[in-house]
Structure 1
């Protein structure tokens, strides 16, 4: 587990990046930006908080398959391999960011670039990292000044309690393609520009990647096939039982999924066909066996909705952690007299 809370900001530059399409210019640092002890205490959490619960890691890529053609990778390599001038490095990063800021919707903004040291990645020695943090969306705030009277001014700025607009941390941890990369995009609108064009990174296909995408696959299968064939109640039970299988097993395999989940619903062959088509369409690579990532599992569980919404303005919320409850204590049927479907729920007492 990566712990960025131990990171120290040893070098920092502050610059501004424009939009190339609108012919906005960069404003370069010129020199290192020196923080007071108090300023570092305030800024360090602001920089690292967006990455503290990340379970998905990335690595640099390039369409030629030669990682040395990735601009940001080669710039970071120079810093990690040699003690090169950090201000010059920051200027080159800013130039690269401007080159990739070539869409009219990409906003100009202030950019902090930091050299981080003392990052705990679970190894014997701590590692260095490079942080690139872009702030785009200023908010209005009131500023007061007192002399003989109280004066007020409306200004624009950033709240340190709000989230970064965009950021990344490149860790000096060797992977198949360069370094370990964490990335953050608060808006999720321009992620193609930040993640694909500027960083040019892709997922590391580890256990977290497999856990997340297998749950997406099974959830999508339940929505597209089980819901249509067997109804909302069974679909909800299916995804609940799916998560229970992930909860109760450290390792997931195709054989285990068939035995513990798919065979019980008689959909093994249908799932195999769906998985093949899903993998080809989404360009995802699924392993036949992998270890469950608890962090990724808990994150995906929070995203899954188990509400049954009815056209009579009634909603039934099922507990995703207890799929057996809907099987044992809930019935679905059709009332011939009213010509309506119904759910019958059994209980001992109201809570």
Structure 2
């Protein structure tokens, strides 16, 4: 997404409280005046702060995408069926209705119409929706004749986004960020109803976390070593592997339900799910897992870290009956 020629066309600010705490929703009755200084701060702070491939999401709904409120309202606006002020008020009302959890803070909601963005082929408009929950303290210097005084001021830092979304006019794609993370997932899950769009990097990180989790759940050290060897063998001989291949390998060592649960846990943590055919960069995953897959539990609460390319083939344990024990490890160098 190219934003170098972007500009602020219109802006409305509403104040959204927490309905569960009895706080009010205050709707503005007109758009705000935006001068060059404000526009520059919004473009360099809010817009640049939300446009990133790592923040790319897609609107969804369990039955029909058009039932997703934010997607529906913004489509109406881009089709010319809803004016900008009415759109911003509907978005604010929807956010207020979803602000039910006691941990959700009140804040100022900015709804901004951007123009001049580009996907490389054509110019695009986009709607920015940003909620500012934290006010920063500032010191300002006031000049009065030959005297300079210090004054305290409180305001919004546009370079520190609490919650934000940039909704493009040409489809269900939305860039979204929530600085509250796991504590306030309502912004993504309830308000926007948006799921992260997986890329090669995030997909490989997710599956790598699944492999690490399943490896730790294999109690037998030699079975754990076999699992790691089989997984790494695929990574070293193929450029790509599928999520289904990872599942098939793992199911030889742990139950199918255990594998399914590990993928479900990862999907919850990463904000997206992968189907069995999803292609993953095999060598990238092997490199990411190099250190964790080199660690082997050998029983008795003991783990060893083996050099890269060395695998565990056998363990012999001898207890002398006097409180001492000898462990003999048979190692093998991978081809």
TM-score, length basis structure 1: 0.68
Task: Please name the residue that 2:69 is paired with.
Answer: 71
Task: Please name the residue that 2:17 is paired with.
Answer: 18
Partners of 2:188 and 2:134 in 1: CA distance? 19
Pairwise CA distance, 1:113:
0.8
Q: Does the 8 Å CA contact 1:111/1:134 hold for their aligned counterparts?
A: yes
Give ranges in structure 1 of 5+ residues lacking alignment. Answer: 309-317, 343-351
Task: Please name the residue that 1:249 is paired with.
Answer: 239
Task: Please name the residue that 1:192 is paired with.
Answer: 185
Alignment of 1:324-339 (within 5 A): 325=308, 327=310
Pairwise CA distance, 1:186:
0.3
- Of the two, which has the highest radius of gyration? 2
Q: Does the 8 Å CA contact 1:15/1:111 hold for their aligned counterparts?
A: yes
Pairwise CA distance, 1:255:
4.6
Task: Please name the residue that 2:165 is paired with.
Answer: 168
Task: Please name the residue that 1:49 is paired with.
Answer: 49
Pairwise CA distance, 1:169:
1.4
Task: Please name the residue that 1:219 is paired with.
Answer: 212
Pairwise CA distance, 1:167:
0.8
Task: Describe the shift of the 1:58–1:143 C-alpha distance in structure 2 as closer, same or farther (beyond 3 A).
Answer: same
Task: Describe the shift of the 1:307–1:137 C-alpha distance in structure 2 as closer, same or farther (beyond 3 A).
Answer: farther
Pairwise CA distance, 1:41:
2.2
Partners of 1:341 and 1:326 in 2: CA distance? 25
CA RMSD of aligned residues (A): 4.5
Q: Say whether 1:290 aligns with 2:290.
A: no
Task: Please name the residue that 2:122 is paired with.
Answer: 125
- Aligned length in residues: 308
Partners of 1:246 and 1:10 in 2: CA distance? 52
1:237-263: CA deviations, max 9, x gaps? 959x86x939972554645897xxx5x
Q: Secondary structure at the match of 2:170?
A: strand
Q: Say whether 1:146 aligns with 2:161.
A: no
